[in-house]
């Protein structure tokens, strides 16, 4: 948009048809063309990959061909390894996410509503948040061992921090007028919280939830790479140890796919959840 | 119901001190647990032991070596990744054609949790510093790229039109109008890039195990059941993360001071 127009466009006389028969071709971006043009780059990459593998520009141990990766993918799917490991990872994310989201929501509501609570707890919360998930990993391995609890706690930490921060900010951004109106109507504290503050803070809370889920997936893959004997992250380690790069790449594709589905799922829920905002106008 | 004495009420403590209550309480309980002698687990080390180990590591110079190695890696990866993200973000932001060609693919790649790339990176780049910096760069790239792109896209049309009317060249347009207007968004990208780069530094040191670094202090401590070294590592990791965020905040305030005028 910025580059297609010439600087200072001046009206120009129509040029003679013979001199320049075709008008300069301009992009208009209908959907069909956009999809086509979006395919150019990935198809080019795929072609380059296939060529590189076919002509053995790089050793197949370092870059297996697309066909091998596809074969590995279907083999993993048929043997049930894929479903089993994906389910393990899935439940870990769900458990950790549920725990972290509830904790984060409670903390965020506390921070947002009570300055006393905030004064006491926020610095400690900030200090815990400041250390990334991977910083806590060795500490928690010593404390909890390599059991399921380790994964759930780490995923929960990854979710709790953004949910708490965004809930807090969401609550603080609720316009003071809303609170005044609620007070005039004689809302009880509970009504004020559930009818005014939480709906008003919902966009902020939702932001935190989305960010938290992305974080959860990131943290889980990291933990599974480091300390696990099941799950999609472990599948990568396993493939790497056996020098089966096709398995590694297949697992990478699956991990990307799951991330994509999670993201899409959340944006669908978001459309439903925040529908009232549009209905108002 | 009897009311507690006034000085015990949470509101009686001055606000500046309130944040210290819980940490001090935790350290006290920790120390009390040690002093009572009841807890015999070899993993339970006293607060004093952690300080002793820290002093020991400082004395032998190991700590500085590990800190230096980690910070150098982190900054190199961050610089490379953030610069790449910034450049690509501006380019795709300026050209619809480029955005339509590359962005859908980049969006798909973005979904792959960065740690999943580590095994591939280790095969392609080995286990040394090159692989680590490449991985950290990848982690820093995404937030820088995504936020720059959305920042450039969000530059008000009117600003660009004014620049056109004034006859700005393309470079001038980018330097004088688009970059300053997109700066707040770019900065949220840089913030995130710093955080992700630090996370990736730890991850790279855990997963690509050759060399020294804070991550190695933590993993070695874990493998040798040295809780004192692990706790020291956790504290250092937090402090460095805090330092980076503070630094980025200062830089942002400096670079966007024109907005407050």
Res A5: pLDDT? 40
A91 CA: distance to closest CA in chain B (Å): 17
* CATH number, position B124: 1.10.3720.10
Asked whether residue A281 is domain-assigned, the answer is: no
**Quick one: pLDDT at residue A281?**
41
Please indicate whether, in this complex, the C-beta atoms of A134 and B124 are within 8 angstroms of each other. Answer: no
Tell me if B237 and A131 make a contact (CB, 8 A cut-off).
yes
CA-based nearest residue in chain B for residue A61 = B123
| A5 or A182, greater pLDDT | A182
The predicted pLDDT at position B253 comes to 83
For A187, the token pair is 């809302």
| Range in A65-74, A99-108, B111-120, B143-152 the model is least confident about | B111-120
Tens digit of pLDDT for each residue in B129-179? 899 999 999 999 999 999 999 899 888 888 888 888 888 888 888 888 888
The pLDDT of residue A276 is 64
Cα separation values, B187 from B130, B156, B173, B253, B254, Å:
27, 18, 19, 10, 12
Q: With respect to residue A63, please indicate whether it lies within any of the assigned structural domains.
A: no
Fill in the DSSP letter of residue A10. -
From the list B111, B108, B144, the residue with the least C-alpha distance to A213 is B111
Note whether ipTM > 0.95 here.
no
Q: Do A130 and B221 touch (CB under 8 A)?
A: no
* Out of A20-29, A198-207, B45-54, least confident range: A20-29
Whose CA is closest to A152, among A98, A189, A112? A98
pLDDT of res. A22? 43
Q: Please indicate whether residue B103 or residue A14 has the higher confidence score (pLDDT).
A: B103
Here the tokens at position A246 are 């096709």
Neighbours of B191 (CB within 10 A): 19
Which of B19, B164, B173 lies nearest to residue A122, judging by beta carbons? B19
Which positions ≥6 away from A198 have C-beta within 8 Å?
Answer: A205
Q: How far is A12 from chain B (nearest CA, A)?
A: 18
Give the mean model confidence (pLDDT) for residues A203-222: 89
Rounded mean pLDDT, B65-88: 94
- d(Cα A148, Cα A92) in Å, to the nearest integer? 8
Q: Which residues contact B220 (CB under 8 A, 6 or more apart)?
A: B226, B229
The dihedral sign for the CA sequence B109, B112, B115, B121: negative
Among B12, B112, B244, most A C-beta atoms within 10 A, so best to mutate, is B112
Q: From the CB of residue B107, how many other CB atoms can be counted at a distance below 10 Å?
A: 13
Higher pLDDT, A14 or B150: B150
- Residues B17-31: what's their mean pLDDT? 87
Question: What pLDDT was estimated at residue A255?
Answer: 87
pLDDT band at A9 (very low <50, low <70, confident <90, very high): very low
C-alpha–C-alpha distance, residues A254 and A247, integer Å: 10
Residue B37 in any domain: the answer is no
Residues in CB range of A140: below 8 A, 6 or more apart: A150, A153, A154
Specify whether the backbone of B94 is left (phi greater than 0), alpha (psi in -120 to 50) or beta. Answer: alpha
Residue B39 predicted with pLDDT over 70: yes
Cβ neighbours of residue B177 under 8 Å, at least 6 residues apart? B155, B159, B160, B162, B163, B168
How far apart, in whole angstroms, are the C-alpha atoms of residue A133 and residue B237? 11
The answer to the question of residue A27 being in a domain is: no
On whether residue B17 sits in a domain, the answer given is no
Tell if the CB–CB gap between B218 and A225 is shorter than 8 Å.
no
Domain of A251 in residue numbering reads as 73-272
- Domain for residue A46, yes or no? no
pLDDT of residue A3: 38
Number of folded domains in chain A? 1
Q: Answer yes or no: is B76 within a domain.
A: yes
pLDDT computed for residue A149 by the predictor: 92
CATH code of A166's domain: 1.10.3720.10
Per-residue model confidence (pLDDT) at position A16: 43
Q: Which of B18, B103, B116, B118 to mutate to test the interface with A (most CBs of A within 10 A)?
A: B116
Report the distance separating Cα A240 and Cα A61, nearest Å. 11
CB B181 within 8 A of CB A200: no
Instruction: Report chain A's mean pLDDT, rounded to a whole number.
Output: 83
Rounded distance between C-alpha atoms, residue A199 and residue A30, angstroms: 37
> What is the Cβ-side half-sphere exposure of residue A188, based on CA atoms within 13 angstroms?
2
**Chain A CB contacts of B233 below 8 Å:** 135, 138
- Share of residues in chain B with pLDDT > 90 (%): 24
Percent of chain A exceeding pLDDT 90 equals 26
Hey, which bits of A9-158 come out as E strands?
none
Average pLDDT score over chain B: 86
Measuring CA to CA, which residue among B196, B165, B168 is closest to residue B180? B168
CA–CA gap between residue B7 and residue A69 (Å, rounded): 69
d(CA A111, CA A106): 9
Distance between start and end Cα atoms, chain A: 30
CB within 8 Å: A7 and B164: yes
pLDDT of residue A190 exceeding 80: yes
Decide if B42 contacts B104 (C-beta within 8 A): no
Q: B257 vs chain A: nearest CA distance in angstroms? A: 24
The verdict on residue A64 lying in a domain is no
Which pLDDT tens digit goes with each residue over A216-261? 988 999 899 888 888 888 888 888 888 888 888 888 888 888 888 8
Please give the pLDDT value at position A45.
Answer: 87
Cα distances from B28 to residues B33, B47, B76, B229, in angstroms, run 8, 9, 40, 20
Contact B230, B114 (CB under 8 A): no
DSSP state of B112: S
Please, which residues have CB within 8 angstroms of residue A281's CB and are 6 or more apart in sequence? none
Domain range for residue B193?
65-255
Q: What pLDDT is attached to residue B261?
A: 60
| DSSP classification of residue B186 | H
Percent of chain A whose pLDDT exceeds 70 = 86
**Tens digits of per-residue pLDDT, A22-77?**
444 444 556 777 778 888 888 888 898 888 888 878 777 778 888 888 998 898 88
Per DSSP, the residues of B134-156 read HHHHHHHHHHHHHHHHHHHHTS-
pLDDT, tens digit, for every residue of A81-96? 888 998 999 899 999 9
- Asked if B252 contacts B244 with a C-beta cutoff of 8 angstroms, the reply is no
């Amino acid at each position: 948009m910025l580059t297609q127009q010439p600087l200072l466009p001046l009206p120009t006389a129509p040029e003679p048809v013979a001199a320049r028969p075709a008008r300069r071709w301009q992009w208009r971006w209908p959907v069909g063309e956009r999809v086509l043009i979006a395919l150019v780059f990935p198809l080019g990459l795929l072609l380059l990959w296939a060529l590189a593998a076919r002509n053995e520009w790089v050793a197949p141990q370092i870059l297996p061909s697309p066909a091998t990766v596809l074969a590995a993918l279907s083999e993993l799917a048929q043997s049930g390894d894929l479903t089993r490991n994906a389910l393990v990872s899935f439940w870990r994310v769900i458990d950790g996410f549920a725990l972290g989201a509830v904790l984060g929501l409670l903390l965020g509501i506390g921070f947002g509503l009570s300055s006393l609570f905030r004064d006491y707890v926020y610095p400690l919360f900030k200090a815990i948040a400041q250390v990334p998930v991977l910083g806590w990993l060795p500490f928690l391995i010593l404390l909890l061992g390599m059991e399921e609890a380790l994964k759930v706690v780490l995923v929960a930490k990854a979710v709790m921090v953004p949910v708490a921060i965004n809930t807090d900010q969401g609550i603080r951004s609720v316009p003071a007028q809303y609170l005044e109106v609620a007070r005039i109507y004689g809302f009880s504290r509970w009504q004020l919280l559930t009818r005014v503050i939480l709906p008003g803070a919902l966009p902020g809370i939702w932001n935190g939830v989305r960010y938290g889920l992305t974080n959860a997936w990131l943290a889980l893959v990291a933990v599974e790479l480091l300390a696990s004997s099941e799950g999609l992250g472990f599948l990568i380690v396993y493939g790497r140890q056996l020098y089966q790069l096709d398995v590694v790449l297949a697992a990478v594709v699956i991990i990307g796919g799951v991330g994509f589905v999670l993201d899409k799922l959340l944006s669908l829920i978001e459309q439903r959840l925040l529908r009232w905002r549009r209905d108002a106008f | 119901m009897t009311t507690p004495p006034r000085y015990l009420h949470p509101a009686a403590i001055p606000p500046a001190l309130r944040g210290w209550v819980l940490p001090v309480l935790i350290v006290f309980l920790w120390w009390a647990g040690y002093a009572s002698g009841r807890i015999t687990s070899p993993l339970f080390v006293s607060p004093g032991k952690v300080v002793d180990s820290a002093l020991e590591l400082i004395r032998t110079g190991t700590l500085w070596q590990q800190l230096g190695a980690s910070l150098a890696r982190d900054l190199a990866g961050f610089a490379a990744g953030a610069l790449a993200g910034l450049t690509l973000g501006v380019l795709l932001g300026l050209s619809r054609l480029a955005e339509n060609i590359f962005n859908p693919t980049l969006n798909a790649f973005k979904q792959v949790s960065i740690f999943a790339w580590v095994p591939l990176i280790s095969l392609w780049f080995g286990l040394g510093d090159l692989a680590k910096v490449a991985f950290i760069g990848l982690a820093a790239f995404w937030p820088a790229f995504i936020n720059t792109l959305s920042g450039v896209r969000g530059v008000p049309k009117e600003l660009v039109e004014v620049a056109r009317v004034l006859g700005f060249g393309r470079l001038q347009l980018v330097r004088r109008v688009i970059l300053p207007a997109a700066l707040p968004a770019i900065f949220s990208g840089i913030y995130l890039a710093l955080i992700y780069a630090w996370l990736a530094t730890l991850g790279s040191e855990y997963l690509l195990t050759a060399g020294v670094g804070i991550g190695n202090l933590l993993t070695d401590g874990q493998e040798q059941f040295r809780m004192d070294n692990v706790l020291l590592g956790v504290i250092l990791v937090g402090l460095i993360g805090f330092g980076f965020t503070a630094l980025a905040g200062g830089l942002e305030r400096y670079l966007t001071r024109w907005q407050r005028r």
